[in-house]
Chain A
Amino acid sequence: MHGQGFFFQAFVYLAAAVVAVPIAKRLGLGSVLGYLIAGMVIGPFGLGLIGAEGEDVMHFAEFGVVMMLFLIGLELRPALLWRMRGPILGTGGLQVGITTVVLAAIGAAAGLPWQTSVAVGMTLALSSTAIVLQTLNEKGLMPTDAGQTSFAVLLFQDIAVIPMLALMPLLAVGSAGDPGDKAHGAEAGVHATTWVEGLPPWEQTLVVLLAVAVIVIAGRYLLRPVFRVIAGTRMRELFTATALLLIISIALLMTQVGLSPALGTFLAGVVLANSEYRHELESEIDPFKGLLLAVFFIAVGASVDFELIQARPQLVLGIVGTLMAVKFAVLFGLGRAFRMGLDQNFLFAFVLSQGGEFAFVLFSFASQNTVIPDDVTAPLIAAVAVSMALTPVLMLINEKLIQPRFGTREIADRAPDEIHAGSPVIIAGFGRFGSIVGRFLRANGVRPTVLEYDSDRVELLRKLGLDVFYGDASRKDLLEAAGAQRARLLIIAVEDHERALALVETAQRHFPDLTILARAAGRPEAYELLDRGVEHVYRETLDTSLRTGVDALRLLGRRAHQAHRAARTFQRHDEESVHELGRMRHDRKAYLSAARERIQSLEELLLTEIEGPTTERDAGWDTDSLRGEYGGTAGQ
């Protein structure tokens, strides 16, 4: 950072974010667009508050992408990842392959040498992980079919960068540059010569495999004891430091062996997804990720070269149009081929149709290797930046204009009054939990109105003849359309806790007469629902676990009725303690971390159980006191 110094830089970036994002959110544009616009405003072509160093900032801030992938990995258990191998290799592979071929053909037709065309094609086939995932997350679209497939495609692209970098020097038109200058290290702000250069390919492969093995094994056996020790010090900042250290060391290791740092941290995240420190890691890394991504988006906005666009508008905008049209068409076709629902397909094709941040890296690498001349890369880079900035706009168009027309299952299109006039029950979420509630109600003559977010599931349930409707139940207008004005009960059965809370808030604000029954994953979630005044809270696993316990007691030889009654008492005490501890936890100091709070809650729980009665009163069935009084002469 030069010029006005670090603090002024920080001031400009933060102020831009703080001013622009709330405005963008209020206008319904989403935070990504807010950051991008803020970047354009403060950039060299706007107010000129930041200059050319914006690019360095961008490279640094790309580390946010690395952190994001780590967080995504944390959410994705290995089994889940394995189940996604089809979409990753199939859809992802086809997307990159076909898009590269089509774009290269267009490039060749425009008169570029074929090597340059191929390099341009494969570079532009990549999409922006940062923009796509941030947008999908913010709109809560990750769990949908389109969200999952988009993620799979992005994951494949992330892997594909590695062979692309290897291929680049081979496509050199002129004299080859220094292939050892692995500019992709810049992705993580790490510029270093690697350990693998100069090694024969098979040794390189070996080193790469070794590095992956190190991450997996260390994640499995080494990190947990380390985190236990660190957590034992009860110093929060030390835990934060350890988490950051972990990510940075993985990024370094990956760069050293020539792999993408994002891929490495993603892998580490997956390995740690089953560990007890998952939530703690998430909450520690999340603010850093958020800030870095924000800076990254601002830097992208600032890097849009308006001078060039002004000078050669047809060229730049032509490239943008061609790029996005081709990508959209390929994605849409793939969605079709893989039988995606129409509304999901639109979402999938729109969200991935931009160029990605890898393009900046690959283009600079390519020009160093004289694969693509500078006068070609300049408009391409401008076009990629513009396409990234256009993505939130396209998402908005999709949401407001296309989905209502083609997303035929949007409930707002229908005449809700006719379809489910007077259904007294609305069920939000029809997965594992909601479907059982819904089936039970139907079996007892109550036809609930069901709102479900996953359109493919909606399709299936529709075919089975259920009143299921697609949509985000936390939107006021959708609840209204579903008859929330007349309904008596709202059953919140969505899996995602944050969405459940959003739904509670909407319902309480706009439909205060609705009685809410809410699903909670466990105690922490139940506490939060109780805090918001939801009286009927159901922890998913409580009843099933107790039934397991009852059967265990029976198999140990207890009488069935006694075991049953014991479970009933236990459940009653447990429900009471949720209410009690839920209130108590407010007294605790705010800095107590979530994990520590859980442990402490469990401690308190076990203590109250020792103090309180855990069996039901049944002295009336007991003859001890009678025998005491009547001495065996039979009184009653």
Chain B
Amino acid sequence: MAGTTRRVLVLFAHPALEKSRVNRVLIDGLRDVDGLTLHDLYEVYPDFGIDVTREQALLLDHEIIVFHHPMFWYSTPAILKEWQDLVLEHGWAYGSEGKALVGKLWLSAITTGGREVAYGSQGHNGYTIRELLRPLEQTARLCGMDFLPPFAVHGTHGMRPDEIRKHAADYRRLLLGLRDDRVDLERARTLGRLNADLDSILAS
């Protein structure tokens, strides 16, 4: 399955990137990747004036769609919700006529301030990250997209610089792997988050 390359679209949403420690490093590692489009939504649409035509064209142009954002109230930052509301039109993304996104891969890349133990029936967040992503997973399914387990970076609040750099390297490896079709998707689907065991799903 290796050899073909697919184009990756990273829809990145962070309303205050200048205050970010982790996300900034994560996306900095992507800037020079061929075949990857980094689309910084808050930078392109500072007033939420999302250009639906342009966004749909971008989606058609890529096979792998990454929703990259910090977890805000168990969901996406506001602009990404606005983006879903406006871009995923009935008759285009879903509905009997809406087949534009069928077969594309959906990857959520998420950062959380809380540690991983906080996410689960015993933690104070009550649910696992995969459970909390259900609305997005169902959105992907309604559009006929292939929803992968998330790439999740937990515990960003107390994270050391070397740990951040490790996560950035992992993120880059994963996206390069997806681009070059070197990811064992069957095995990937069994993981709670893809970066729990990246080596096992990436063919070298």
A sample of 18 inter-chain contacts (CB < 8 A) reads A565-B49, A572-B49, A616-B49, A617-B53, A617-B86, A618-B52, A619-B89, A620-B52, A620-B85, A620-B86, A620-B87, A620-B88, A620-B90, A625-B91, A626-B90, A626-B95, A629-B96, A636-B90
Nearest B residue to A627, CB-CB: B90
Give the 10 A-B CB pairs with smallest separation, nearest first. Answer: A617-B52, A620-B86, A620-B85, A568-B49, A625-B90, A619-B89, A620-B89, A625-B91, A626-B90, A629-B95
Interface code A571-584, partner B: CB below 8 Å = 1, 0 otherwise?
01000000000000
Q: How far is it, in angstroms, between the C-alpha of A569 and the C-alpha of B49 when the chains are bound?
A: 8
CB proximity to A under 8 Å, residues B63-107: 85-91, 95-96
Knowing that A617-B53, A620-B86, A635-B95 are A-B contacts, what are 14 other residue pairs whose CB atoms are under 8 Å apart, sorted by A's residue number? A565-B49, A568-B49, A616-B49, A617-B86, A618-B86, A619-B52, A619-B89, A619-B90, A620-B52, A620-B89, A620-B90, A625-B90, A629-B91, A636-B90
Contact yes or no, B89 A568, CB < 8 A: no
Q: In the complex, which residues of chain A have a beta carbon less than 8 angstroms from the beta carbon of B95?
A: 625-626, 629, 635
CB proximity to B under 8 Å, residues A599-636: 616-621, 625-626, 629, 635-636
Does chain A have a CB within 8 A of B47?
Answer: yes
Contact yes or no, B90 A629, CB < 8 A: yes
Q: In the complex, which residues of chain B have a beta carbon less than 8 angstroms from the beta carbon of A572?
A: 49
Interface code B18-53, partner A: CB below 8 Å = 1, 0 otherwise?
000000000000000000000000000001010011
Q: In the complex, which residues of chain A have a beta carbon less than 8 angstroms from the beta carbon of B47?
A: 568
Q: How far is it, in angstroms, between the C-alpha of A508 and the C-alpha of B20 when the chains are bound?
A: 37
Q: How far is it, in angstroms, between the C-alpha of A568 and the C-alpha of B48 when the chains are bound?
A: 10
Q: In the complex, which residues of chain B have a beta carbon less than 8 angstroms from the beta carbon of A617?
A: 52-53, 86
Q: How far is the CB of B134 from chain A (nearest CB, A)?
A: 15
Q: How far is it, in angstroms, between the C-alpha of A625 and the C-alpha of B88 when the chains are bound?
A: 13
Q: How far is it, in angstroms, between the C-alpha of A625 and the C-alpha of B87 when the chains are bound?
A: 15
Q: How far is it, in angstroms, between the C-alpha of A635 and the C-alpha of B49 when the chains are bound?
A: 27
Nearest B residue to A618, CB-CB: B86
Q: How far is it, in angstroms, between the C-alpha of A616 and the C-alpha of B85 when the chains are bound?
A: 14
Q: In the complex, which residues of chain B have a beta carbon less than 8 angstroms from the beta carbon of A569?
A: 49
Nearest B residue to A616, CB-CB: B49
Q: How far is the CB of B63 from chain A (nearest CB, A)?
A: 23
Q: How far is it, in angstroms, between the C-alpha of A565 and the C-alpha of B45 when the chains are bound?
A: 13
Nearest B residue to A561, CB-CB: B48
CB proximity to B under 8 Å, residues A274-295: none
Q: In the complex, which residues of chain A have a beta carbon less than 8 angstroms from the beta carbon of B87?
A: 620
Q: In the complex, which residues of chain B have a beta carbon less than 8 angstroms from the beta carbon of A620?
A: 52, 85-90
Q: How far is the CB of B78 from chain A (nearest CB, A)?
A: 14
Nearest A residue to B94, CB-CB: A636
- Residue of A569, A621, A625 with highest tally of chain B CB at under 10 A: A625
- Residue of A568, A620, A621, A626 with highest tally of chain B CB at under 10 A: A620
Q: How far is it, in angstroms, between the C-alpha of A625 and the C-alpha of B47 when the chains are bound?
A: 27
Q: How far is the CB of A277 from chain B (nearest CB, A)?
A: 39
- Residue of B47, B86, B89, B90 with highest tally of chain A CB at under 10 A: B90
Q: How far is the CB of A619 from chain B (nearest CB, A)?
A: 5
CB proximity to A under 8 Å, residues B151-188: none
Q: How far is it, in angstroms, between the C-alpha of A569 and the C-alpha of B95 when the chains are bound?
A: 28
Q: How far is the CB of A561 from chain B (nearest CB, A)?
A: 10
Nearest A residue to B93, CB-CB: A620
Q: How far is it, in angstroms, between the C-alpha of A397 and the C-alpha of B89 when the chains are bound?
A: 72
Q: How far is the CB of B140 from chain A (nearest CB, A)?
A: 15
Q: How far is it, in angstroms, between the C-alpha of A242 and the C-alpha of B165 when the chains are bound?
A: 77
Q: How far is it, in angstroms, between the C-alpha of A492 and the C-alpha of B5 when the chains are bound?
A: 47
Interface code A552-573, partner B: CB below 8 Å = 1, 0 otherwise?
0000000000000100110010
Q: How far is it, in angstroms, between the C-alpha of A620 and the C-alpha of B96 when the chains are bound?
A: 16
Q: How far is it, in angstroms, between the C-alpha of A629 and the C-alpha of B53 when the chains are bound?
A: 22
Q: How far is it, in angstroms, between the C-alpha of A621 and the C-alpha of B90 when the chains are bound?
A: 10
Q: How far is it, in angstroms, between the C-alpha of A635 and the C-alpha of B142 when the chains are bound?
A: 11
Contact yes or no, A621 B86, CB < 8 A: yes
Q: In the complex, which residues of chain A have a beta carbon less than 8 angstroms from the beta carbon of B96?
A: 629
- Residue of B53, B86, B87, B96 with highest tally of chain A CB at under 10 A: B86
Q: How far is it, in angstroms, between the C-alpha of A618 and the C-alpha of B53 when the chains are bound?
A: 11
Q: In the complex, which residues of chain A have a beta carbon less than 8 angstroms from the beta carbon of B49?
A: 565, 568-569, 572, 616
Q: In the complex, which residues of chain B have a beta carbon less than 8 angstroms from the beta carbon of A635?
A: 95
Nearest B residue to A571, CB-CB: B49
